[in-house]
Amino acid sequence: MLAVWQRTNADSTLAHCVSQLEASGALDNLRIAAGRMTGDFRGFQFADSDVYKVLEAIGWEAGRGDVSAFDRFVSDTVDLLKAAQEDDGYLDSHVQITRPGEKFAELRWSHELYCLGHLLQAGVAWARTTGRRDLLEIGLRFAALVDDTLGDGHTDAVDGHPEIETALVEVYRLTGESRWLNLAQRMIDLRGHQLVGPDPFGFEYFQDHAPVREVDGAAGHAVRQLYLAAGVADAYVENGDDALLAALERIWTDMIGRKMYISGGVGSRHRDEAFGDPFELPPDRAYAETCAAIASVMFNWRMLLITGEGRFADEMERALYNAVATSTSPDGCAFFYSNPLQVRTERGGAHAQAPARRVGWYACACCPPNLARLIASLHSYAATTADDGLQLHLYESATVRLGALGGDATTATITTGYPFDGGIHVEFDAPFSGGELSLRIPAWAESFELTVDGVLTHATETDGYLRVAGNGIRSLDLALDMPVVVHQPHPHIDAVRGCVAVTRGPVVYAVEQSDLPDGLVIEDLVIDPAAGGTVGAVDPELGMPLLTLQGSRRGEVPGEQPYPEWRGGASRPNGRMDVSAVPYARWGNRGPGGMRVWLPAS
């Protein structure tokens, strides 16, 4: 699934994003700032970041494939950025066009440092994959101005949207220049002192309500929270400040345990795109922004690297296969901004906050190019190598280059049908003698079986990973049991009390109106949880297996009365029927109608 997704991203999504940068006016904004054309600024104030994310996506793709089709776009855009950049290094088309001369004057909403962060990350991507540094140099000139203006000993101010923190740490890792790590740490330390100023959304929205080391959980705007958490994790790796790690643990525990949807989506409130109260998780009003799910992947990835604990890989996987995957169409050219877990039969529209279908772009277009950059770099999340061996985190058919790690072995070839098949085969091109081979055992796997060189083998599981000594291994097979599992909600999640959800492996399933018989609307479907579910055929349109559940029609539907009198007991469902469930990631691709992840239980 991940490999197909990367190919689709490279073959379709990247070109689609480039065309939309023209159509949306994002490139024209930079042309106006460069004096190459006249006109008014178009789009949201952070439109420059859309350009930078697409450049970053192409940069990561350049490290694994042919991107010559984008050579002209990349070169022209880099030249355009050079032309738009002012002599002192400043580059933000929104301010340059709408408020010239007012640099860093309104950081609460301007997104100037947010845009710079994405520019720096695009530069890092190209420098790491190809050695190309012209884009990075543009970002470094702007970053130097920020350091001279807002760095230590200068004005105390933070951007209303965290993002620059993780970018600065990456620049430090690439260049070795400590000023960038110091600036990142300063941005983190300034958070929580209410420097953004009062706003109707409140200080939590901007992650400025409490110092980072003192926060007690996940709060405020979900994307801002998780981008900041990713940056704090990066800073912790470099400075070893245990108070930062303790804060990250509190944020993660609160998010995973009380504020996350079963899909891995986060953010339940539309007004401020924010985490709600504990267990405030309505399925039909789930905001669950795509960018928030992407940020969750990035945060969990960093926590995995810090701790080596499989629980973080489990949540990275949950978000990736469900909350992130559902946000894009199979052709990679249509998207969701928010990702509800229930769509009512009579819902219409395709705008960001009430999606009944995916669309090609949004006025606030942060999600599609963000998706493109994540998927272009997805292979980096699958496996890691270290002095003590090879670690496999996400299972996909792939080839891992081992370098000097594997002894005589130079590559590991992985073959699997994951996430719909629990069989993983690893084949080395020569005997592997490179320390331990660590295989993740997901928390959902009720049992597993390991065979090494054809021999059934017992291995030790630690922190969610099976550890196998690399003593000349040529091949191994891991078989993960993947039963259909029926889940009930925590009793405090009032919105889905009396409902169940169904998963198989890491994949969450949903029922769509298009699979129900004529005359039955999805609101009147009842599921028998005791019957469980079975794996059905592969849907030819989706290319993924469906599940078959046992359902029935709700009895005594009240008709026109919204609040009929209670007559005691529960109505008996009418009849029994087989009901197909599709992977949640692929709902909305076979026709219009309602959808539910949480299904009323008989």
d(CA 479, CA 321): 19
User: In this predicted structure, what is the pLDDT of residue 143?
Assistant: 98
Among 49, 30, 52, 50, which residue's Cα sits nearest to residue 123? 52
User: In this predicted structure, what is the pLDDT of residue 460?
Assistant: 84
User: In this predicted structure, what is the pLDDT of residue 350?
Assistant: 58
CB 368 within 8 A of CB 335: yes
User: In this predicted structure, what is the pLDDT of residue 592?
Assistant: 78
What is the residue extent of each domain of the chain?
1-190, 383-480, 484-557+571-600
d(CA 294, CA 177): 28
Output the pTM of the full model.
Answer: 0.97
Contacts of 351 (CB under 8 A, 6+ apart): none
User: In this predicted structure, what is the pLDDT of residue 296?
Assistant: 98
Q: Which residue has the tokens 């490290």?
A: 63
Integer CA distances (angstroms), 80 to 72, 75, 76, in order = 12, 9, 6
CATH architecture, domain defined by 383-480: Sandwich (2.60)
User: In this predicted structure, what is the pLDDT of residue 573?
Assistant: 74
User: In this predicted structure, what is the pLDDT of residue 566?
Assistant: 78
CB 55 within 8 A of CB 74: yes
Torsions phi, psi for 329 (to 5 deg): -80, 165
Q: For residues 173-193, b (16+ Cβ closer than 10 Å) or e, as one string? A: ebbeeebbbbbbbbbbbbbbe
How far is the first Cα of the chain from the last one, in angstroms, to the nearest whole number?
Answer: 34
User: In this predicted structure, what is the pLDDT of residue 122?
Assistant: 98
Bridge partner list, 481: none
String of DSSP letters for 459-503: -EEETTEEEEEESSEEEEEEEE---EEEE---TT-GGGTTEEEEE
d(CA 209, CA 177): 31
| Rounded mean pLDDT for each run of 10 residues along the chain, 602 residues in total | 95 98 98 98 98 98 96 98 98 98 96 98 98 98 98 96 98 98 98 96 97 98 98 98 98 98 97 96 96 98 97 98 97 95 79 74 96 97 89 96 87 96 97 92 96 93 94 96 97 97 98 92 94 93 93 78 76 83 94 91 86
User: In this predicted structure, what is the pLDDT of residue 519?
Assistant: 86
Among 365, 474, 389, which residue's Cα sits nearest to residue 439? 389
Which helix (H) or strand (E) segment holds residue 47: the answer is helix 47-62
Write the Ramachandran bin of 93: left for phi over 0, alpha for psi from -120 to 50, otherwise beta: alpha
Say how many C-beta atoms besides its own lie within 10 A of residue 87's C-beta: 6
